[in-house]
A and B are shown apart, each in its own frame.
Chain A
């Protein structure tokens, strides 16, 4: 997961290749490359293409009509809102958790690390169910919420909560190994030189983790917008109100509105492509930062 770890192996592979003693015979090399490329083309590229082909099957105008349809627009708005709340919260939580883990020693540290991973190991459906159990009408806090006229489940707050739950690990997981590797020296140096806690964070910590942070944010955002399972449980599928884009795609599809379903799906696919490009760029940048030549 760590952004820096992605960048280094390429350089090593190149060195490996250049050595005649270590490289595989060309036939082996091309067969392996051929197999993986065919596989990816068949299982990844083709479906992606299919999404766009299907979306534009009835022409550009039908596509546009499907996108500007009020329910679709409302689902786009909701998805953007959920991401806009979940991502910043995750950035704050992620930095705080990574800081706590990497720069401090305390009891229960290992427990915290395990807890951060929980959303990865638990099925998103269960994540959704947890919120229904806690905030639902029959749930623990249900009566109290009902009394105060607060709606969480089957409403926007529930969707945001579910989104936060499934995206919790992204930023923290990215930053913990990075900050652990960097140690505390630079921050201590800043403190000794008289920097306030905020100056230290802004001028020393943040620049050192910025690429890792950005990488985490991109992945977190992609997941926040694409999440289906957890959100589906707490949403209630109220059209125009509690449908996010992935949920809306499903509804349209179930109603045999294939062109419209694929049109919305194409928007999500587009988001995925943008995410990939950004991710590659950030990896490349972080790689440059990590590989800066160490003078003897």
Chain B
């Protein structure tokens, strides 16, 4: 079933949680609502479920305006961050709850309910826990039971609010894979909220990036990565190095130094811009022979673990180029470079060594685009 939200706004007092959000969620896909905490993603999810009312705008489920439909008639499955299992009921009764509370006319016979619950518990591979109470389960098990309970009523859409937020890293990874497989089996339109970009990338067909109550970008994982629409999207999707400067021809002037703009990067000459590069897109020049090419920086730490080594650097930014992100108060800016261990040994770096940084790839945003 498809979900559409049209011009949804939500305010809490003077705080704007959602600002005219319009989105389309096509049938059968697994979509991630991704953004930092407080960006309004959970509020949007709860509005779609009917647990919260929008100040204005409408929710359209399957082509029908469901804005005024009560939550119990929306036929959505909702999985809560902290599971919200009924603590005084066994696992079996938890899963059966949705089937048992149906009005008499629609309710299945108890025998059929039992069969279906058993099936669901098998689906989440926890049929052996049927007689336990939620407090006797591990976090991962609880979340799977919460999912089985949500699926029991055959929801038209599945909404998951930070489904793995309360789990430890290892269980989280397992559950992600498991949920993806489950989705591929069931093909139920699913929406999940997360602030973890790895989780979003690994699980979702499409990403919706949100910030401060607004949608920043919508697209497939590859699209969003390849063409981030805003500096926010770029910096939210991974570690970044940031350069503020002025475009002059084929070069970016950062303070007194010059950063060559790689071929294929669109930048209009004469504009003030911020340019971003991922850690693996930066290169360290050891022998810069005093020229202005490359941004000067000092090696502060070398982390040589695994196949990819990381080098942390800092530089003093001249006054006037100090701004926002990645820049410390005293005008110090930090960089992060990823390179192969082989390359690292060739460079033969030491902490405290002055080097210059150039970039093989830059993502340039004009200053106006940045908030």
Contacts and interface: CB of A to CB of B under 8 A. Distances in A.
B82 interface: yes
Interface in A168-204: 185-186, 188-196, 199, 203-204
A195 B73 CA distance: 10
A119 B141 CA distance: 47
Interface string B124-137: 00000000010111
A208 B89 CA distance: 10
A189 B84 contact: yes
Q: Size band of the A side of the interface?
A: 20 to 34
B153 interface: yes
Given A185-B82, A185-B84, A188-B51, A194 B153 contact: yes
B201 interface: no
A294 interface: yes
Contact of B133 (A185, A196, A292): A292
B79 to A, nearest CB: 9
A250 B359 CA distance: 95
B71 interface: yes
B49 A208 contact: no
Contact of B138 (A186, A204, A295): A295
Interface string B142-169: 0000000110110000000000000000
A207 interface: yes
A186 B133 CA distance: 15
B101 A196 contact: yes
Contacts, number: 74
Nearest to A199: B101
The residue among A192, A195, A196, A199 with the most chain B CB atoms within 10 A of its own CB is A192
B57 interface: no
Contact of A296 (B73, B138, B150): B138
Q: Size band of the B side of the interface?
A: 20 to 34
B80 A193 contact: no
B133 A191 contact: no
Interface in B15-53: 49-51
Nearest to A187: B84
Contact of B80 (A188, A199, A294, A296): A188
A108 interface: no
Given A189-B78, A192-B71, A194-B153, A295 B88 contact: no
A8 to B, nearest CB: 15
Contact of B97 (A185, A190, A196, A293): A190
B345 to A, nearest CB: 42
B139 A295 contact: yes
A201 to B, nearest CB: 12
B132 to A, nearest CB: 10
Nearest to B138: A295
Given A191-B71, A196-B101, A295-B139, A186 B153 contact: no
Contact of B87 (A186, A188, A190): A186
Interface string A259-288: 000000000000000000000000000000
Contacts of B138: 295-296
Given A191-B71, A192-B51, A185 B80 contact: yes
A177 B12 CA distance: 25
A160 B155 CA distance: 51
Contacts of A188: 51, 78, 80, 84
Nearest to A296: B138
Nearest to A186: B84
Given A185-B82, A189-B80, A193-B97, A293 B71 contact: no
B102 interface: yes
B340 to A, nearest CB: 38
B135 A189 contact: no
A188 B78 CA distance: 9
A203 B93 CA distance: 11
A193 B88 contact: no
A173 B138 CA distance: 33
B109 interface: no
Given A204-B86, A207-B88, A192 B139 contact: no
Contacts of B149: 189, 193
Contacts of A294: 135
Contacts of B86: 186, 189-190, 203-204, 207
B72 A195 contact: yes
A296 B136 CA distance: 9
Given A293-B135, A295-B138, A194 B98 contact: yes
Given A186-B86, A194-B72, A292 B135 contact: yes
Interface of B: 49-51, 71-73, 76-78, 80, 82, 84-88, 97-98, 101-102, 133, 135-139, 141, 149-150, 152-153
29 contacts: A185-B80, A185-B82, A186-B85, A186-B86, A188-B51, A188-B78, A188-B84, A189-B78, A189-B80, A189-B86, A190-B86, A190-B97, A191-B51, A192-B51, A192-B76, A192-B78, A193-B97, A193-B149, A193-B153, A194-B102, A196-B72, A203-B97, A204-B86, A208-B87, A208-B88, A293-B135, A293-B136, A295-B136, A295-B141
Given A190-B86, A192-B51, A203-B101, 20 more contacts: A186-B87, A188-B78, A189-B78, A190-B97, A190-B101, A191-B51, A192-B76, A193-B152, A193-B153, A194-B72, A194-B98, A194-B101, A194-B153, A195-B101, A203-B86, A203-B97, A207-B86, A292-B136, A295-B136, A295-B139
Nearest 4 pairs between A and B by C-beta?
A185-B84, A193-B98, A189-B84, A195-B101
